[in-house]
Chains A and B, each alone.
Chain A
Amino acid sequence: MYIYDKFDQTIVRERVAAFRDQVARRLAGELDEDHFRPLRLMNGLYLQLHAYMLRVAIPYGTLSSAQLRRLAYIARKYDRGYGHFTTRQNIQYNWIKLEEAPDILSDLADVQMHGIQTSGNCIRNVTADHFSGVAGDEIDDPRVTSEILRQWSTFHPEFSFLPRKFKIAVTGAAHDRAAIKFHDIGIQVVRGPDGEVGYAIYAGGGMGRTPVVAPLIRGYLPKAELLSYVEAILRVYNRYGRRDNIYKARIKILVREIGAAEFTRQVEEEWKLIRTTGVNLPAAEEARIRRFFAPPPYDTIAEPVASLTQAKAASPAFARWIETNVHTHKVPGYAIVTISLKPPGGIPGDASAEQMEAIADLADRYSFAEIRVSHIQNLILPNVKQADLFAIWQALGKIGFADANAGLIGDIIACPGLDYCALANARSIPISQAISERFADPARSAEIGPLQIKISGCINACGHHHAGHIGILGVDRAGEELYQITLGGAADQTAEIGALIGPGFKSADAVDAIERIVDTYLKLRQPGEEFLVAYRRLGQAPFKEAAYGRA
């Protein structure tokens, strides 16, 4: 993974000092809240219902074991012993004191971490495929691109006061595990006509109040021209994105209002003027960054691995976990492990300090000291030997994270909702808990197969409900929490926005409605047909009728 040099370290250190100065000025009254808010947000510090919340960046989802241990330490020292992994490869702490925030950032800087640009109207933490570097279907490691973008976007003099927040995601494979089409800019590594590696560029996607699947604005961009092209997009957006209405300020509205073709024309016109002005990264610097993402020293291992075969035969529960939570690694004899942070009845994405430390230990012992964070709110051990899988599974069982549900109905994305969030209209977590308990039986959930449920507690859609196969949006109707259901959303390369089935359900009825939808799928599916495929074949009608009890 990328290791800071003295310049990266200096920037983060100076940022801590600058923020300490800003906090002191705020507490002394030199800065009022209106002028302080953007400054604290650009360090990831929000004010939520119960306290300040600190959002720490985990750039493109890659963590070292030492960093994860530091996150645990911060949870224990400054918070209440836990953290929440989010849909944007960040971790959030919920009980932060403003006066301690500079110390926390200083402790983070010790391990090359920060909260820089995890909030505010600026270029946010760049996210990437959580299987980067280990997936067999990858053309190029998207973390190289992401790190280039991280440095370019950090304290950008021109783009730190954008009309609204700006999110970039990168995938290195045709199979999109980073939901790139729901981002302000989605970048996909592709091969050009000559076989060279470059990018396909999508722009103007997003969720929120106006969900949009990003249009492709450039089919092939030479790799070396990444920064000038992205800068051209940002410049057009910074100049012409709407600033009169916060709900219309995202780039997706600009793209929609002037049309993708006109937007693209403006970007290309701007790009022509800056292509050769020194914005692009020199090849030597790209090569320097790339070296940090070289593969670790893998052993040569023959497959099949006998001990794994035996352990699967001996334990059906282990075999089921292998089936769902272990993924094909590009190197023979190795595997990728998804650690589900979704125990039935649990809070999606939450991990205690003890759990984080246990996972850091596992990474040290079995995964070259590296951990990934997925936008699905799980952790990943990206580089484990298949022969070690049984030991890892047993160790995860001891911390309550051995559930065999990755990608299944219990693997729910949920935003913090009204339990924590000042913007929420309804709670998300209790609905998630009720659903994961209802479908807790591993055999039943395996029978249902891949099914993504995503829950948001307000229209901002941090829980990605628009992209859920089953999406749930909590709303407030005259003081009562109601839950609207959407069906048919997808976050991958077949990205689609789910369609609302009708009026919302009371919290007690929502889970029953979900169950009736699932039962209808089981009844109507063809052999081996996954939920989303069946939904696309059948349309909404049978599911809608079932949800409202009319089937």
Chain B
Amino acid sequence: MAVLNLAPGETPVARPDPWVLLADGEAPTVGAHVIVPFARFKVEHNELLAKAAAVGVAIGGADVVEELAPWVARLQLVLLQFGVFKDGRLFTSARLLRERFGFRGDLRATGDFIPDQAVFLLRSGVTSLEVGEAFPVETLARVVRAYSVRYQRALDPQPVIIDQRLQGNGA
């Protein structure tokens, strides 16, 4: 597995990553960067936040992000686990975490997604990707730049078409 940064206009490159996903029942090491499933976090959040240097929570499509809202300020990472790449719920989850609940940490996608979805992920607020060895990183670097313009306001900072038109740049 490798972790790639995902940022507007940048080529996604692998970066060192301190995070570990705790196995069921595995206790957090003091000072570690640990990710736990949301269900476990709900039960053990006090202990986790006290012990670990940094805490991340893994959520799936069915998890309701409103339930995570009270803790987002104390989380350094949220892991979006794509069971199947067609599970579009996580795009909404990402957006809500950023726009509605003010999550500022690393928003990371993992699991079954394809390079062509990276633009949508990025625009929904995702900032890193966890990928397997077979993942076509070169393709990703190409397709993440597929679109230079966009209609909707979202989490990426590039100006949207409407704003450019209002500035008289359309013709």
Contacts and interface: CB of A to CB of B under 8 A. Distances in A.
Interface of A: 5-8, 10-11, 14-15, 17-18, 21-22, 25, 30-31, 35, 38-39, 121, 151-152, 154-163, 235, 238-239, 243, 273, 277-279, 281-282, 284-285, 288
A159 B61 CA distance: 14
Interface centre among B86, B119, B124 (most CB of A within 10 A): B86
Given A158-B91, A243-B87, A39 B153 contact: no
Given A14-B146, A273-B100, 20 more contacts: A7-B165, A7-B170, A10-B148, A21-B146, A39-B114, A154-B151, A155-B147, A156-B152, A157-B119, A157-B120, A157-B124, A157-B154, A158-B95, A161-B91, A163-B88, A243-B61, A243-B89, A278-B153, A282-B166, A285-B162
B86 A155 contact: no
Contacts of A154: 151
B146 A17 contact: yes
Nearest to A8: B161
Nearest to A227: B152
17 contacts: A7-B149, A7-B165, A8-B161, A14-B147, A15-B147, A18-B147, A21-B142, A38-B86, A157-B124, A157-B154, A158-B124, A162-B88, A238-B91, A278-B153, A281-B162, A282-B162, A285-B166
A10 B151 contact: no
B19 to A, nearest CB: 25
Nearest to A236: B92
B120 to A, nearest CB: 5
B47 interface: no
B43 interface: no
A278 to B, nearest CB: 5
Nearest to B163: A282
Given A7-B149, A14-B146, A152-B152, A161 B162 contact: no
A25 B116 CA distance: 11
Interface in B114-149: 114, 116-117, 119-120, 123-124, 136, 139, 142-143, 146-149
A14 to B, nearest CB: 5
A151 B151 contact: yes
Contacts of A15: 147
Contact of B164 (A7, A35, A158, A281): A7
A273 B66 CA distance: 13
Nearest to A162: B88
B88 A160 contact: yes
Nearest to A150: B151
B165 A288 contact: yes
B71 interface: no
Return the 9 tightest CB-CB contacts between A and B, nearest first. Answer: A161-B88, A157-B123, A5-B170, A18-B146, A7-B161, A157-B120, A158-B91, A151-B151, A157-B154
Contacts of A152: 151-152
Given A14-B147, A35-B114, A154-B151, A285 B91 contact: no
A161 B117 CA distance: 10
Contacts of A5: 165, 170-171
Nearest to A5: B170
A139 B167 CA distance: 31
Given A25-B139, A285-B166, A155 B91 contact: no
A161 B82 CA distance: 12
Contacts of B44: none
B42 interface: no
A35 B124 contact: no
Contacts of A239: 89, 92
B162 A155 contact: no
B88 A157 contact: no
Contacts of B142: 21
A277 B99 contact: yes
Contacts of A35: 85, 114
B40 interface: no
Contacts of A285: 162, 165-166
A14 B88 contact: no
A278 B154 CA distance: 10
Nearest to B95: A158
A284 B166 contact: yes
Contacts of B124: 157-158
B87 A18 contact: no
A95 to B, nearest CB: 27
A6 B165 CA distance: 10
A152 B162 CA distance: 10
B83 to A, nearest CB: 10
B166 A155 contact: no
Contact of B150 (A18, A155, A277, A284): A155
A156 B148 CA distance: 14
